[in-house]
Amino acid sequence: MEVGQMRRQWVDYIKSLFTEEFLDGQFLQLQQLQDENNPEFVVEVVSLFFEDSERILKDLSFSLDQQSVDFKKVDAHVHQFKGSSASIGAQRVKNSCIAFRNFCEEQNIDACLRCLQQVKQEYFLVKNKLENLLRLEQQIVAAGGSIPMMELSF
Amino acid sequence: MVMAAAESQFHVLAVDDSIIDRTLIERLLKTSSYQVTTVDSGSKALEFLGLCENNETNPNTPCVSPSNHQEVEVNLVITDYCMPGMTGYDLLKKIKESTSLRNIPVVIMSSENVPSRINRCLEEGAEEFFLKPVRLSDLNRLKPHMKKTKLKDQKQETEEKVENSEIQQPDSESHSQTQQQSVQQGTTNNKRKSIEQGLSSPETDRTRPRYSTGIATVV
């Protein structure tokens, strides 16, 4: 595939991630912070997000699996997850976290368990999308092209 | 280019328990040409600033390690609000309670838009409150606070120069004129400085008693 075609594919793909609300404007902020001095910045932050998310999901599953659930602790984990998903622009994960926190306050264990499943699902969806996007970027760069940030007009 | 070079002098200490947010704020600040140090907790921030925490009974006389404190100059502290252990609000209070640190501007970041929280931080002496995620455009709001810290330093230098010129050039022909200009500049600057500092730090005035009469005449 020639570079021009890959660049068009990247633009179409990232636009679909915005229209389907997987990502929000914060992700563009990350892209803008990446330059020739820091060509790996987005990959670095996204990898940190993956590591952090998977640790939080493990902690959440553990906390909700206890005989008597400490909802304050659960809420603290969800708060963290909400923060990191907001920082990366993972909009749907962030929104699931907001709903999750309401049920922590209500101390509703069934709803919390449902929310955990939903947050997990949204996380793995966006993880998959981000991996596809970053793979495309790597292919463009490897072929000697640059990421067509200018073509993203929102 | 010149701007970037000048601003690279400003040193920001960024405090956040989240590694993602530390990476992000570090990049944002570096892109804006600041020198950055990041730490993951409020207690590490105080340690970096040279303030020990072993004197809880009397917060007005903090244990300061002088060598450590003078080595690293911090022009601004930007801290997350919600952190385990010492919160950003606790850190702000400790800095503002410390005679050696209270002039360092503090900016609080939080993901939650809670007006009472924002007001509490501003009342306690925070310069700004940023909603997370912090964006490049937010960082423009840091500049005035940096400039203020830097200007204070420059004014001190100017005043020292004035003192020197008085002593070293008593025979210079244009002496009295230049001296007057310098002194005027010094007093004007000093006036502005006292207004800036008058509310929060009376003790800094003690270090500059030289122009206290000058202020009166100018005012």
**B27 → closest Cβ in A38, A79, A89:** A38
* Backbone dihedral region for residue A144 (phi beyond 0: left; psi -120 to 50: alpha; all else: beta): left
Q: What does the pLDDT read at residue B176?
A: 45
Q: What does the pLDDT read at residue A148?
A: 86
Residues B7 and B98 in one domain: yes
Give the count of domains, chain B. Answer: 2
Residues B13 and B63 in one domain: yes
Chain B residues within an 8 Å CB radius of A24: none
**B18 → closest Cβ in A30, A83, A89:** A83
Cα–Cα distance between A2 and A4 in angstroms, integer?
A: 6
Over residues B65-71, mean pLDDT:
47
**A45 → closest Cβ in B20, B82, B132:** B20
Rounded to a whole number of angstroms, the distance from the CA of A2 to the nearest CA of chain B is 32
**B133: preceding bond cis by omega (within 30 degrees):** yes
3-state DSSP of chain A: CCHHHHHHHHHHHHHHHHHCCCECHHHHHHHHHCCCCCCCHHHHHHHHHHHHHHHHHHHHHHHHCCCCCCHHHHHHHHHHHHHHHHHHCEHHHHHHHHHHHHHHHHCCHHHHHHHHHHHHHHHHHHHHHHHHHHHHHHHHHHCCCCCCHHHCCC
Asked if residue B23 is part of any domain, the answer here is: yes
Residues B158 and B113 in one domain: no
Rounded to a whole number of angstroms, the distance from the CA of B15 to the nearest CA of chain A is 15
Residues B69 and B125 in one domain: yes
Domains by residue range for chain A, with CATH: 3-151 (1.20.120.160)
Q: What does the pLDDT read at residue B70?
A: 44
Compute φ and ψ for B183, nearest 5 degrees: -65, -40
Mean pLDDT computed over every residue of chain A: 95
Rounded to a whole number of angstroms, the distance from the CA of B86 to the nearest CA of chain A is 15
Residues B73 and B103 in one domain: yes
Residues B119 and B193 in one domain: no
Mean pLDDT computed over every residue of chain B: 73
Chain B residues within an 8 Å CB radius of A80: 18
Residues B83 and B182 in one domain: no
Q: Is the dihedral of CA A38, B37, B127, B155 positive or negative?
A: negative
Final residue before a domain boundary, out of B115, B134, B153: B134
Over residues B166-186, mean pLDDT:
44
- Inter-CA distances, B192 with A76, B145, B181, B210, B215, Å: 45, 15, 17, 15, 10
Over residues B133-145, mean pLDDT:
93
Are the Cβ atoms of A45 and B132 closer than 8 angstroms? Answer: no
pLDDT digits (tens, 9 = 90+) for A41-98: 999 999 999 999 999 999 999 999 999 999 999 999 999 999 999 999 999 999 999 9
Final residue before a domain boundary, out of B87, B106, B134: B134
Chain B residues within an 8 Å CB radius of A35: 31
Q: What does the pLDDT read at residue A120?
A: 98
Cα–Cα distance between A86 and A102 in angstroms, integer?
A: 17
Q: Which residue of chain B has the CA closest to A46?
A: B20
Q: What does the pLDDT read at residue B53?
A: 59
Among the ranges given (A71-75, B56-60, B78-82, B113-117), the one the predictor scored with the smallest mean pLDDT: B56-60
Asked if residue B139 is part of any domain, the answer here is: no
Asked if residue B180 is part of any domain, the answer here is: yes
Q: Which residue of chain B has the CA closest to A28?
A: B135
Residues B122 and B158 in one domain: no
pLDDT digits (tens, 9 = 90+) for B178-207: 444 444 444 444 434 333 433 444 443 333
Residues B8 and B116 in one domain: yes
- Chain A interface, mutation test: which of B16, B17, B24, B114, most A Cβ atoms within 10 Å? B24
Residues B7 and B113 in one domain: yes
Residues B122 and B154 in one domain: no
Range(s) of the domain holding residue B173: 145-218
Final residue before a domain boundary, out of B82, B111, B134: B134
User: With 80 as the cut, is the pLDDT of residue B132 above it?
Assistant: yes
Over residues B87-92, mean pLDDT:
98
* Per-residue pLDDT band at B9 (split at 50, 70, 90): confident
Residues B38 and B66 in one domain: yes
Rounded to a whole number of angstroms, the distance from the CA of A101 to the nearest CA of chain B is 13
